[in-house]
Amino acid sequence: MEAKIALPSGKAVSFVAAILASSLSNAEVLLQINVSAPAAAGADRVVNASLGVVGATRKQATLNTTLSFRLPDAPALSLRVLADRSIVETFIVR
């Protein structure tokens, strides 16, 4: 999956990607990304990404991981997800 996400000038953005799914309610992997607004013109944005892998009972995630990093302000960011039966790789770049 590849997506280009618009980053409106001076505003925060949040979105969820359902991976290996036909809907949010039956996703095997949920990726939630929050991108902060830049603190000032030309300042970095803070990206917080959370990934949850759903367990067999579908009642709670069996794996949760989060990461945070700074990204220079830009009009958009690119999200690329590669998935197969054993691994999910996620790339977030500006």
Domain ranges of the chain: 2-93
Spatial separation of the C-alpha atoms in residues 93 and 48, rounded to whole Å:
13
Q: What is the mean pLDDT of residues 36-42?
A: 89
pLDDT at 20: 81
Task: Note the pTM of the prediction, 2 decimals.
Answer: 0.81
Q: What are the structure tokens assigned to 85, written together?
A: 């039966």
pLDDT at 13: 96
- Which residue type, as a one-letter code, is found at position 38? P
Which residue is it, tokens 């000038």? 9
Q: What is the mean pLDDT of residues 39-59?
A: 82
List pLDDT tens digits, range 67-93: 999 999 999 999 999 988 778 888 988
Kindly tell me if the per-residue pLDDT of 27 is higher than 80: no
